Amino acid sequence: AGEGYEQGAMLDNSGGNTDLNSMLDSMISRCEEGGSGPAKFMCGSCGKIMARRKDLRRHVETHLDMTHPCGICSKVMKTRSSLAAHYSIYHKNEVSSPWSMI
């Protein structure tokens, strides 16, 4: 992994997020509220329910004991999406993509 972006053993040798994404998916279950309407997704850690899997995936990451430091100013984020938002707000002219620093 590159400097400033640490995921510990979660990263494979290529720097991909395959293991982390698999872990996040394993923490999400599909549920039906009341048996009617569209399926919902539930966090296996706290029971929070969301309509969109991608939103719950972002939420589930907050339950992991991981940090994602900014490679420019060293501010530490709890999720990858928070780090991406940080780069686009505070460092948009310094890097084209936060993931290019990996």
Could you give phi then psi for residue 40, rounded to 5 degrees?
A: -120, 170
Q: Does residue 6 carry a pLDDT above 60?
A: no
pLDDT at position 97 is 63
Q: Does residue 8 carry a pLDDT above 90?
A: no
pTM reported for the whole predicted model: 0.63
Dist. CA 5–CA 36, nearest whole Å: 42
Map residue 66 onto helix, strand or coil. coil
Task: Name the residue type at position 13.
Answer: N
Q: What is the largest CA-CA distance in the chain?
A: 49
β-bridge partners, 68? 77
Pairing of strands 49-50, 40-43: antiparallel
